[in-house]
Amino acid sequence: MIAVFQTIDLALNLYTWVLIASAIFSWLYAFNVINSSNQFVNSVGMFLYNVTEPALRPIRRVLPNLGGIDISPIILLLIIFFLRSLMWNTIVPMVV
C-alpha cells in the first residue's frame, strides 16, 4: 500500500517541477529571451502549456484580475504541497 502513496507522491513531485518549468518558460517567452520562431522551443512551450493549463484554468477563473500578474501557479503549488502533506501526515499513518 505504501508503494501506491509513493507513486502518487512522485507524480505530484514531477508535476511540481513541470509547473515551475512552465512558469520559467513563460517568463523567458514574454521577455523575448528565447526564440519563439524556433520549432523546438515552440513544441516545448506547447507541451508545457498543454500539461499545466487544465489545472491552472479553474484557478484563474476564481482569482480576481491582478493585471499582468498571474499567481495561479503559486496557488497550485500550495495546493500540491497541502495534498502531499495531508497524504503523508494523515492518510498514510491511518492506512499503515
pLDDT tens digits along 68-92: 889 999 999 999 999 999 999 999 9
pLDDT at residue 16 tops 90: yes
Q: Are 1 and 62 in contact (CB under 8 A)?
A: no
Confidence of residue 36 (pLDDT cuts 50, 70, 90): confident
Helices within 1-96 (DSSP H only): 2-30, 39-62, 72-86, 92-95
91 Cβ contact partners less than 8 Å away, ≥ 6 residues apart: 5
The CA-based dihedral angle spanning residues 74, 77, 82, 88, taken in that order and rounded to the nearest 10 degrees: -160
- This prediction has a pTM of 0.90
What is the structure's pLDDT at 20?
Answer: 97
